[in-house]
Amino acid sequence: MSIGIVLIGRNEGARLRACLASVAGLEARVVYVDSGSADDSVAAARAAGAQVVELDRETPFTAARARNAGFEALRAGGLPGIVQFLDGDCTLVRGWLESGQARLVEAPELGLVTGWREEIHPKASIYNALADVEWHRPAGPITSCGGDMMVRAEAFEAAGGFDPTVIAAEDDEFCLRLAKAGWQLERLPLRMSRHDADMTRFAQWWRRAERSGHGFAQVGALHPAHFRAERRRVWLYGLALPLLAVAGLVGWVSTHPTTTAWAALALLALAAYAASFLRTAQGQHRGGLPWPEALHHATYLTLSKFPNLLGMLRYHLRRARGRAMRIIEYK
């Protein structure tokens, strides 16, 4: 089966050049889709020999829209049997294309295969380290995966491609429809891509977590069973418990310092946070992190419920106002 590669990016700079170098010389057609970059991304892609598609700037950019455009560009030149999607801040691991292709040929029931993604510089910052842990998922049958994926072209068309209005977790949403169309999905126990998160500032991490919350809400509205646990945790730890804690403290101060009922309410909320933090730290430790790192990661994972909440609220506000969903960038 022939293979086409779709790369997508926006202002990725050196990361895109590394991505293009990682697919150079492969027996595959390469399409790069640019979402309004202000740097030299388009020129770099052309210089590398990739076919370039520049998205119309009048329509809101989304990764889903870019991937669909790349697929259509491949179709225009004769649709390959398999399409490898790769984000522009990632590099492809050599040998993955052959392994993924062999698995799709071997198992006709599979519509998609993916592999392991890893961070290029996991020790550069706590934010990169968090992303690196996030990518570690078990091999075997899956319900969803990230944007680096190898898809059977027939399956892509059966699912209707990506939903261009979904601005975050669009890969999850696509995978869910792929499964509903009757296809199976699998993660192979192989390295597939290396990701360069390049997150060095707290504000970047916060925006990325906000984008995740938007994805929880938007994809959850389309597929209510998906991200249900994530949404519940955000509502509980990002909103309900803080309100209880504040109500308890205000009630305790405004009534009488000896009144213990209000204080108990605040302490109960804080105890729930502490219990959640410890469970998260234990989970990180069981996943292989030393205790100091596990505690550090748990701090950010606990804190992430607040930007997640903002992202969820942003989605609901946009939806209520009938406004277009626009990307939330963190780089």
The SS3 call for residue 204 is helix
Q: Looking at the structure, do residues 255 and 175 belong to the same domain, yes or no?
A: no
Q: Is 62 exposed, middle or buried (0-12, 13-18, 19+ CB in 10 A)?
A: buried
Asked if residue 205 is part of any domain, the answer here is no
Cα–Cα dist 280/51, whole Å: 45
pLDDT at position 246: 86
Give me the number of domains the chain comprises: 2
Domain annotation covers residue 236? yes
Residue 136 lies in a domain: yes
Asked if residue 181 and residue 53 are part of one domain, the reply reads yes
Same domain, 144 and 247: no
Reference 143, options 223, 218, 64, 85; nearest CA is 223
Is the same domain home to 120 and 253? no
Q: Is 331 within a domain? A: no
Same domain, 183 and 299: no
pTM for this prediction: 0.94
Q: Tokens for 213?
A: 């919350």
Same domain, 40 and 155: yes
Within-domain flag for 291: yes
User: 24 and 156 share a domain?
Assistant: yes
In a domain, 210, yes or no: no
Do residues 297 and 133 lie in contact, with contact meaning Cβ atoms separated by under 8 Å?
yes
Tokens coding 48:
């590398």
Of 160, 178, 199, which closes a domain? 199
> What is the identity of the amino acid at 301?
L
User: Among 154, 179, 199, which residue terminates a domain?
Assistant: 199
Is residue 273 located within the same domain as residue 161? no
- Indicate if 193 and 234 belong to the same structural domain: no
Range of the domain at 91: 3-199
Domain membership flag for residue 212: no
Q: Would you say residue 143 lies in a domain?
A: yes
3-state secondary structure of 167: coil
**Which residues of the chain, if any, have pLDDT below 50?**
none
User: Which stretches does DSSP call E strand in the chain?
Assistant: 3-9, 29-34, 51-54, 82-87, 90-92, 110-119, 140-141, 149-152, 184-195
Same-domain check for residues 166 and 92: yes
